[in-house]
Amino acid sequence: MSRDRIEHSSPFDIRERRIEKKVGAVVADVLGEALLAAQRPPPSPA
């Protein structure tokens, strides 16, 4: 990255970083839930 871009972040860059953080948090939550579900024993047949 150029020094110019680092020193002069636009509002778009800030919003983009916030979106990336939120998407990352959602992905982590979904993967965590999927891992927990995969570790649960299957329901017994009725």
Q: Which residue is listed with tokens 């995969």?
A: 38
Q: Is residue 15 part of a domain?
A: yes
Q: Is residue 43 part of a domain?
A: no
Domain count, the chain: 1
Confidence at residue 31, expressed as pLDDT on a 0 to 100 scale: 98
Q: In 3D, which of 21, 17, 40 has the Cα closest to residue 29?
A: 21
Structure-model confidence comparison of residues 46 and 10, the more confident one: 10
Confidence at residue 6, expressed as pLDDT on a 0 to 100 scale: 54
In the chain, what is the straight-line distance between the N-terminal and C-terminal CA atoms, in Å?
A: 60
Reported as a single tens digit per residue, the pLDDT across 1-45 is: 455 555 567 888 989 999 999 999 999 999 999 999 999 988 888
- Angle, vertex CA 40, rays to CA 36 and CA 45, nearest 5: 145
Q: Is residue 45 part of a domain?
A: no
| Residues of the domain holding 20 | 3-37
CA dihedral of residues 7, 11, 15, 21 (deg, nearest 10): 20
